[in-house]
A = this chain, B = another copy of it.
Amino acid sequence: MKLLEDRIRQDGVVKAGGVLKVDSFLNHQLDVALLEELAGEFYRLFREEGVTKILTIEASGIAIAALTAQKFAVPALFAKKSRTSNMAGDVYTAPVESFTHGVTYQVMVSRDFLRPQDRVLLIDDFLANGKALEGLWSLVKQAGATAVGAGVCVEKAFQPGGDALRNQGLRVEALARIASMDETGVTFC
């Protein structure tokens, strides 16, 4: 999506260690008008899929998920992170390894909000190693619901997560796919 690629070229900052900082518009400060355009693109891509719920993971997926839910006129649901594996109550849980923070979180959603008849669109801001989407997909499968696909704003296509998920049969749509990046700039696929 040219709008997002242009914005990444303009305001993204590539840091040492393969980190792309987009915190001026995507995941700290939020350019809500831009996010609304991205949400509209997710709607265009998945509107034939009978989506009943948007599922994301706290914290930086929540804004784009809420705006996407607005386009589909369905509820959004965000999985919560915990460092402990003994969650209270009736929840589905899945482990998610965070390379950025070097820890494994448990993510969880209440069983009340994912039902077998749900057709779920997974949404997140970033896709790199794919562990977060894999965890969300696991929650959907535990509920006996259907994941119609995943919409992510930015995919680091030089990391294996996106293709691993596609090879497992998940439809993954990324609005900007980064082929490579270094201090001199970003190249898109």
Task: Give the dominant DSSP class at A's interface.
Answer: mixed
Task: Decide yes or no whether A137 CB sits under 8 A from chain B.
Answer: no
A32 to chain B, nearest CB (A): 4
A137 to chain B, nearest CB (A): 18
Give the oligomeric copy count.
Answer: 2
- Number of A residues whose C-beta is below 8 Å from B? 31
Task: Decide yes or no whether A76 CB sits under 8 A from chain B.
Answer: yes
Q: Is the CB of A32 within 8 A of B69?
A: yes
Q: Is the CB of B76 within 8 A of A29?
A: yes
Q: How far is the CA of A171 from the CA of B102 in the complex (A)?
A: 41
Q: Which of B32, B36, B58, B110 contacts A58 (CB 8 A)?
A: B58
Task: Decide yes or no whether A35 CB sits under 8 A from chain B.
Answer: yes
Minimum CB distance partner of A79 in chain B: B28
Task: Decide yes or no whether A136 CB sits under 8 A from chain B.
Answer: no
Task: Decide yes or no whether A62 CB sits under 8 A from chain B.
Answer: yes
Interface residues of A (CB under 8 A from B): 23-25, 28-33, 35-36, 58-59, 62-63, 65-67, 69-70, 73-78, 80, 109-110, 112-113
